[in-house]
Every structure is written in C-alpha cells, then in structure tokens.
Amino acid sequence: MLTWTQRSDATLHAGGVIAPDERLPWPQTVLLGVQHLIAMFGATVLAPILMGFDPNVAVLMSGVGTLIFFLVTAGKVPSYLGSSFAFIGVVIAATGYAGQGPNANIGVALGGIVACGVLYFLIGAVVQAIGTGWIERLMPPVVTGSVVAVIGLNLAHIPVKNMAPTAFDAWMQAITFVCVGLVAVLTRGMVQRLLILMGLIVASVIYAVLANGLGLGKPLDLSGVAQAPWFGLPQFATPVFSANAMLLIAPVAIILVAENLGHIKAVTAMTGRDLDRYMGRAFMGDGLATVVAGSVGGTGVTTYAENIGVMAATKIYSTAIFVVAAVMAILLGFSPKFGALIQAIPLAVMGGVSIVVFGLIAVAGAKIWVDNRVDFSDNRNLLVAAITLVLGTGDFTLTFGDFALGGIGTATFGAIALYALLGRRGAAGGR
C-alpha cells in the first residue's frame, strides 16, 4: 500500500528532511508540486518545439509518464519524467525537420521513440532480474557523478546564450537568480522551501515594473492568457514504424539509462537511502512511459534533472509531490489557458531560474563524488572526470553517418569507455 507519513511542522521548521515515503500536509504538498511543475516546464516545452511536436501533448504525457513511473516503482523513487533532450538530434536526423512549425514526419520519429522505450524497458527487466552490479561496474561514482554534472553544465548555454537577447534581459536574469538566492538565505519555513517558485514570482513582478512600467524591456504580455480557452484537446499523432528511424533513435536508451542511473545515485546521496534495489523498476517505468508517450505524439521522456535540482535545494524528496505535479501537468495538457500563463513568464526570468536549477544539477553530480569519497589522486578518476566535463560542457559531437552523438552522449559514453580502458592499465600495475 502506498502511504506517506505526515511529519509535524515543528520538525520541518527545525530543518528536517522529508524522505521519499513521507510527506508534508497536503496544502504545502500542492504548493511544492507547483514548484516542480514550473521547474520541468521550460525544458519539457522547449524540447518538443525544437522537434516540431505539440508542446501540450508533451506536457500531458510528462504527467502521464510520471504517474506510470510512480506506479512501477511503487512510489519509492522521487522523480518527474519530462521531455528528453537526448532525442532532439536523432529525431531531426530521422525526420529531416527544418526547424519551424509542425514536424511533417512526426510519425516516423514516434516509431523510433516507441522502439527506444521498448529497448529501455528490456534493459530494466534485465537489471531487475540480475541486479545492478554490471551497470555499476561500468558506471561507478566517478562516472555517474560526472554524467550528472555534465547534464547541468551542458544545458548552461541555453539560458546564458539563448534566453537573454538584450542587455536588459541579461540584467533580469541576474536579478532573478539573486531573488532566488535571497529567498533561499533570508527566509524560513515554507517560503524558503518554495525558493524557486517565490524567486520566480518576485522576479516577474520586478520585470513587470521595469518593462511595463518604465519601458526598459519587452512588456510582460498576458493577452495570450486572456484569449486562450480553458479546455482543449492537444494534437495527438500516430507512430509509423520505419526500420531506419528505429535503428537511429532506439540507441538513445543507453543515454537514458545513464541519466536515470545518475538521477537515482544523486537522490540516494541526497536522501541517504539506498534506492539501488528500485533501479530496474525505474528503468522499466521510464521505458514504459516513453512507449506510451511515443504512441500518441509525445516526446521520449526521462527522469528530470531540473527536479533533482529542486529537491537538492528544498531537501524535500516526497514522492507525493510528484503525483501532484503529474496531475497538474495532465490538466495543463488539456488547458491552453494554463499553458499560456506559464509561457507568459518572461524569457529572461525563466532563464535566471534555469541558471539556478542547472547549477544545482552540476553540484548534485559533485555531491556524488564527495559522498562516495572518489579519490582524485588516482589518475584514472581524475582523467575520467576531467575529460567528461569538458566533452559535455563543450558539447563535443561525433557523427556516424546520419547519427550524431552530442555533448551529453559523448560525455556519457566517453566516461564509461575511459573508465574501462584506463582500468586495464591499472590492472597491469600502471597508473
């Protein structure tokens, strides 16, 4: 039976950590669910736009996928499933998408996404049957910490380079992350735990004063919210199974395994609870969610690093919060008005929040190193981490015919391969 133990406010105010199987009172849980919804929203909407998918379908299926993940893992692993950026390059290559408007070949991409989900599920089934030992030998803490850190560092250029087109926007990004920092340091109780949401609200108000009131930037525009209907169906689509597309897209499952493994390792480090026994279930839940999403027009999904960042900041790991966020995402998927409201958040403010969240992801990777006492005096560990960080941060890309392996992929596979390769020499007595 899935239950959460309700802890007293006194314990929470004393700095208590909320474990995955515990929860806050429901009103606070709902507010924290909103915070996780906002944390995932920008990337979950951005990924389908870059691939020519319907963002409302992506948001809807992120909620459905999160509930699937919750059920498959028996509510033991705190995670939100959102659009995976690992699919962008291969989807564009498989469909020939030009970058604007709906993707005319979306069905071909969806067939590949479904195939990827099936492969991912099968990997999870193997892990569930024989354990995680073989994965951990391939991906020890120095590797998983590097991969988690790279996810945050690789995404850093998005807010810095793409979400501040003017000098005013750059200053607003700075104001936004300062607002989040001030909330984190100067407030207490629930306000502090909602630091990202509260910082975003304060920054949006400041933006409206400076842009709408003083004319210093692009005005905050809520007309889209007023015009959007409350309810409406998103544009569902049907997969088309093409062998070439499936061969191109299915290997993304390996990257998703590394992302999910890193997520669980990060949450284990943050909570102090061993979640390794749920690794197989987590892979199967993520794989099944990807199959379901791809079957109706959604993007492939993955455990979301943005929400790891929120958990790292709030120290609240209750899976109840993710159920709330998932239900809200489903409602949002059927409500163009709510989608318009979130999208009305100024780009610069969302960029400032992204800087905070992506930074927290990078630090979560470093925390894996610290908690597992990774020895960087060992040249093997030192070089694996150093090379991986630069590959991912610099977005080092390798191409194999029509297949392009971007920064997160090259960093992930590079870390695994380097650790194995350098270990051979270590076994022979060299360092």
Which residues make Cβ contacts (< 8 Å) with residue 251, sequence separation at least 6? Answer: 116, 119, 403
Whole-number Å distance between alpha carbons of 257 and 121: 10
What is the per-residue pLDDT for 392?
A: 85
Closest CA to 312 of 257, 390, 366: 366
Distance CA 334, CA 324 (A): 16
- Measured distance CA(100)–CA(155) in Å, rounded: 22
What are the phi and psi torsion angles at 5 (to 5°)?
-80, 130
Output the pLDDT for position 262: 77
What pLDDT sits at residue 236?
Answer: 93
pLDDT for 429: 42
Q: According to the model, what pLDDT value does residue 10 have?
A: 32
Q: Write b or e for each residue in 16-45: b if 16 or more Cβ atoms lie within 10 A of its Cβ, otherwise e.
A: eebbbbbbbeeebbbbbbebbbbbbbbbbb
Residues of the chain with pLDDT under 50: 1-2, 5-15, 427-431
Separation of alpha carbons 178 and 45, rounded Å: 25
Contact between 20 and 319 (Cβ < 8 Å): yes
10 Å Cβ neighbour count for 86? 27
**Cα distance between residue 28 and residue 294, in whole Å:** 33
Q: HEC states along 314-353? A: HCECCHHHHHHHHHHHHHHHCCHHHHHHHHCCCHHHHHHH
8 Å CB contact between 128 and 284: yes
Q: Which residues are CB-neighbours of 205 under 8 A, at least 6 positions away?
A: none
- Cβ 173 vs Cβ 164: under 8 Å: yes
The pTM score is 0.71
| Per-residue pLDDT at 299 | 93
Give the Cα separation of 219 and 222 in Å (integer): 9
Please report, for the chain, the start and end positions of each structural domain, with discontinuous segments joined by +. Answer: 17-166+221-352+363-427
Alpha helices in 156-194 (DSSP H): 157-162, 167-186, 189-193
Residue 179 near residue 187 (C-beta atoms within 8 A): no
84 within 8 A of 364, measured Cβ to Cβ? no
Q: Any idea what DSSP says for residue 209?
A: I
pLDDT of residue 163: 76
By CB atoms closer than 10 A (0-12, 13-18, 19+), residue 221 is: exposed
- CA gap 293, 286 in Å, rounded: 10
pLDDT value, residue 221: 81
Torsions phi, psi for 78 (to 5 deg): -70, 120
> CB–CB of 311/267 below 8 Å?
yes
Looking at residue 7, its pLDDT comes to: 42
